[in-house]
Amino acid sequence: MEKTKKHVGLTVFFSIFSVIYVLPILIVVLNAFKKKAYINRYPFSMPDEKSFVGLENFVEGIRKIDFFSAFGYSLFITVASVAVILVCTSMCAWYISRRDSKVTKAMYYLCIFSMVVPFQMVMFTLSKLSDMLKLGNPVGIIIVYLGFGAGLAVFMFCGFVKNIPIEIEEAATIDGCSPLQTFFKVVFPVMKPTYLSVGILETMWIWNDYLLPLLVLNIKKYKTIPIAIQYLKGGYGSIDWGAMMAMLVLAIIPIILFYLVCQKYIIEGVIAGAVKG
């Protein structure tokens, strides 16, 4: 009886906690279909016959910020960056896990250290360096994302590789496979759970990232969705709240759908990559 009460209490507590987290998203969705004046006066009310504007805010927002161009840049940067991170960090983790030396240990701890250093400590240096290296474009920023995303990815991949029997790699070598063939034909398919979980986490981070593109990209030419939405702010503090709420809805829909489709792989991959070898 006591256990039942405890479980009910925990269920109620976490249900309320979940509602608190979901409430801001719900408010954004509701206000995306309301007139600007009603958003300012009654931000928590449901749209009614006076405040409801249909898809007007969406049309206006798409027109003002050239949404589809920003969507294209965000999509390219996210997909390309995640692909580069997955391939490079998995190969790095495989090498670190299979070569027991001071160099590989130093590489591993440097990757771990990069997870600890706050971004604010390096952002100004990063901005200066990216300008010097001409990385202020959708291709150049992929290199920057590789550097910042490598820490977590290498950590998770190393944990998984340590649990792969080395005998299957030795058998592939005996059969005449080169190191690259061994990796892509033997190791790569086995690492699928960690690839999925790392890919999901990196995708959610890069798609929603605002500060790094703002510092690195030439925003006069290239705007990702988070940066483009900021241009709905006018002079003297004026903001087109209706269009902004509508664009926020369009921005979060792809990543929410992506997460809902792939969420079952996150726990599987994190557990697989966190087991101590």
By the 8 A CB rule, do 187 and 94 touch?
Answer: yes
Q: If we measure between CA atoms, which residue out of 206, 182, 169 comes closest to residue 86?
A: 206
Number of neighbours of residue 78 by Cβ within 10 angstroms: 25
| Predicted confidence band of residue 276 (pLDDT cuts 50, 70, 90) | very low
| Predicted confidence band of residue 277 (pLDDT cuts 50, 70, 90) | very low
The DSSP code for 46 is P
CA–CA distance, 198 with 269 (Å, rounded to integer)? 8
3-state secondary structure of 277: coil
pTM of the predicted model, to two decimals? 0.86
The rounded percent of the chain whose pLDDT value lies above 70 is 92
Domains and CATH numbers, the chain: 2-57 (no CATH), 59-274 (1.10.3720.10)
Q: pLDDT (tens digit, 9 = 90+) per residue, 184-236?
A: 888 888 888 888 888 988 999 999 999 999 999 988 889 999 999 988 876 55
Task: Give mean pLDDT, residues 2-6.
Answer: 68
pLDDT for residue 268: 63
By the 8 A CB rule, do 145 and 85 touch?
Answer: yes
Return mean pLDDT, the chain: 86
Beta bridge partners of 34: 52
Task: Give mean pLDDT, residues 42-51.
Answer: 84
Residue 125's identity, in one-letter code, is T
CA–CA distance, 245 with 36 (Å, rounded to integer)? 10
Task: Give mean pLDDT, residues 137-148.
Answer: 93
By the 8 A CB rule, do 209 and 226 touch?
Answer: yes
By the 8 A CB rule, do 157 and 143 touch?
Answer: no
By the 8 A CB rule, do 123 and 210 touch?
Answer: no
**Residue 142 phi, psi (nearest 5):** -60, -40
Q: Which of 24-38, 60-74, 225-239 has the lowest mean pLDDT?
A: 225-239
Q: Radius of gyration (Cα) for the chain, nearest Å?
A: 23
| Predicted confidence band of residue 153 (pLDDT cuts 50, 70, 90) | very high
3-state secondary structure of 218: coil
More confident residue, 31 or 235: 31
Q: Which of 74-78, 225-229, 262-266 has the lowest mean pLDDT?
A: 262-266
- Length of the chain in residues, anyone? 277
Q: pLDDT (tens digit, 9 = 90+) per residue, 87-125?
A: 999 999 999 988 888 898 999 998 888 888 888 888 888
